[in-house]
Chains A and B, each alone.
Chain A
Amino acid sequence: MAWSSPMTAVAGATFTAAQFNQFVRDNLNMTAPALASAAGQIFVSTAANAIAARTPGVATIATSQTTTSTTYADLATVGPSVTITTGTQALVWFGALISNSGANSSRMSVAVSSASTVAASDAWAAVNVGTSANRIFSAHMFTGLTAGSNIFTAKYDVSAGTGTYVNRELFVIPL
Chain B
Amino acid sequence: MSWTAPMTAVAGSVFTAAQFNQFVRDNLLECPAAKATTPGAFFAVSDVNQVAERIGQSTSITGVTETTTSTIYTDLATFGPQLTVDSGGAAIVILSCALQNTTSTSSARMAYDISGATTLAAADNRGVGHFGGTGVGVVVGNMIYHDTLTAGSNTFTAKYRVSGGTGQFESRRLQIIPF
Interface residues of chain A, those whose CB is within 8 Å of chain B, are 15-18, 20-21, 24-25, 28-29, 31-34, 36-43, 53, 56, 58, 60, 62, 93, 95, 97, 99, 131-135, 137, 139, 167, 169, 171
Q: Does B75 contact A (CB under 8 A)?
A: no
In the complex, per-residue mask of B35-76: 1 if CB is within 8 Å of any chain A CB, else 0: 000000011111111110000000000000000000000000
B49–A33 CB distance below 8 A = yes
Whether a CB of chain A sits under 8 angstroms from the CB of B6 is: yes
Query: Given the complex of chains A and B, what is the CA–CA distance between A137 and B141 in angstroms?
Result: 8
Q: Check if A135 sits within 8 Å of B3, measured CB to CB.
A: no
CB distance from A143 to the nearest CB of B (A): 20
Q: Are B11 and A17 in contact (CB under 8 A)?
A: yes
User: When the two chains form their complex, are residues B9 and A40 in contact, meaning their CB atoms are under 8 A apart?
Assistant: no
Q: Say which size band chain B's interface belongs to.
A: 35 or more
B15–A167 touching, CB < 8 Å? no
Find A31's partner among B9, B10, B15, B31 (CB 8 Å cutoff): B31
Q: Are B6 and A39 in contact (CB under 8 A)?
A: no
B129 touches A134 (CB 8 A): yes
Chain B residue numbers with a CB within 8 Å of A33 are: 3, 27, 30-31, 49-51
A139→B143 contact, CB < 8 A: yes
A21 touches B133 (CB 8 A): no
- How far is B46's CA from A56's CA once the two chains are assembled, in angstroms? 14
Tell me which of B78-86, B120-128, B167-175 binds A: B120-128
Contacts A20-B9, A95-B142, A132-B132 known; A36 to B51 CB distance under 8 Å? yes
Asked whether, in the complex, the Cβ of A39 is within 8 Å of the Cβ of B11, the reply is no
A167 touches B125 (CB 8 A): yes
A40: B residues at CB distance < 8 A: 44-45, 88-90, 147, 179
Q: Which residues of B lie under 8 Å from residue A132 when comparing CB positions?
A: 130-133
- Minimum C-beta distance from B51 to chain A (A): 5
B16 close to chain A: CB less than 8 A:
no
Measured CA separation A40–B145 after assembly (Å): 11
Chain A residues near B127 (CB-CB < 8 A): 135
| CB pair A36 B49 closer than 8 Å | yes
Beyond A39-B47, A39-B88, A42-B179: 7 further Cβ-contacts under 8 Å? A15-B15, A33-B50, A34-B49, A36-B45, A36-B51, A39-B90, A97-B129
Q: Return chain A residues, CB-CB under 8 Å to B30.
A: 31, 33
